[in-house]
Amino acid sequence: MVEPILKWAGGKRQILDAIKESLPPKEDVNRYHEPFVGGGALFFDTAPHPPGSTINDINTRLISFYKVVDERPKELIQKLRDFKPPNATPDPNREYSDEDWNGGEVDNYYYQQRELFNRRPRGEDFDKVEEAALLLYLNRTCYNGLYRENNSGEFNVPIGRHSSANWVMADRIRQASKVLSDIEMFNEDFNYIKKNAKSGDLVYFDPPYEPVSRSSSFVEYHHSAFGTEQQERLRDTALELARNDVWVVISNSPPMEELYDVFDEFIIHDIGAKRQINSVASDRDEVQEIIVTNVPENNRREKLKKLDSWMEPEA
């Protein structure tokens, strides 16, 4: 098992066991695909994956980050080791040491690095390794580990309260680099999967969720919203894959159940998930989620593993 490097809104670390209970046995899977990879909790937990497996995300800087982890891990680690604590004085030798893009005051190191990270969406020249290092640094030192972009695609999360944040993550980066070495990475709409998934492959969809209560909101991991129309397109894609003998597992919120429960191809399970990333601490409680899958209940890896253990003869 490999630990994920990034914290990510909608991450699945709290419900990994429930998701894995819906997966087919590894020996029945040709390749693994994750069209909404985010922080990659399931992807890394179930690694290694067969060559030709894929990950994808619409967030360009996220996929660029994973490519740097794959191809240039040593440079990335060195960049991370050069960073200062978030409350340190801005580096006078770099841009934005006094003012941000809009002319506002920059009063600490964190906000200077946030401005440097936003070079790409502003059309400025940027270095991919530095951008990847900044993504991880900001992810570990921002408020509550949240990734959020404004309408211009700029990361805009304020500084967090981190007295001893670890942003280097050297061991995790090295391990993740090995896992990613045989993985194809895409920065496209999730429908890329229709050209890449073949019979016997496993596709895990973890889309941004519809609201489940008045206090909930769309997962803001990208400046483009993922609404009802996109959820319906996802349903159609999942149905097409299932009918082409591709294993499909989907995490989603209860309002999306009605999109799937009319099709015999799918089985739906209710589970709870503890929400760790929320701007209001009192709202980080257990919410209901669903898992939609076409994997038969008698052919799931965790159940078969348990059956095998029960059938082992006593010593």
In CATH, what number is assigned to the domain containing residue 217? 3.40.50.150
Check residue 14 and give its pLDDT.
74
- Greater model confidence, 268 or 214: 268
Q: Could you tell me the CA-to-CA distances from 116 to 71, 99, 138, 259 in Å, in that order?
A: 22, 12, 11, 42
- Cβ pair 31, 145 in contact under 8 A: no
Q: Are residues 51 and 74 in the same domain?
A: no
**pLDDT at 286 > cutoff 90:** no
**pLDDT at 113 > cutoff 80:** yes
The CA distance from 77 to 129, in Å, is: 10
Q: Tell me the pLDDT tens digit for each residue of 233-249.
A: 999 999 999 999 999 99
Q: Is residue 179 part of a domain?
A: no
Here the tokens at position 225 are: 């919203």
pLDDT class for 285, splitting at 50, 70, 90?
low
Could you say which of 111, 138, 170 is where a domain stops? 170
Q: Are residues 156 and 256 in the same domain?
A: no
**pLDDT at 278 > cutoff 60:** no
Which region among 104-118, 247-261, 263-277, 297-311 has the lowest average model confidence (pLDDT)? 297-311
Give the end-to-end CA distance of the chain in Å, rounded to a whole number.
29
**pLDDT at 102 > cutoff 50:** yes
Q: Are residues 137 and 285 in the same domain?
A: no
**pLDDT at 218 > cutoff 80:** no
Q: Are residues 101 and 154 in the same domain?
A: yes
**pLDDT at 269 > cutoff 80:** yes
Q: How many domains does the chain have?
A: 2
Q: What is the mean pLDDT of residues 48-74?
A: 97
**pLDDT at 33 > cutoff 80:** yes
Q: Which own/partner pairs from 301-305 qualify as long-range (CB within 8 Å, at least 24 positions apart)?
A: 301/20, 301/23, 301/24, 301/25, 301/26, 302/17, 302/20, 302/21, 302/23, 303/21, 304/25
- Cβ pair 206, 12 in contact under 8 A: yes
Q: Is the pTM of this model over 0.85?
A: yes
CATH number (domain holding residue 115)? 1.10.1020.10
Check residue 228 and give its pLDDT.
85
Which region among 202-206, 207-211, 228-232 has the lowest average model confidence (pLDDT)? 207-211
Q: Which domain holds residue 285?
A: 13-58+188-311
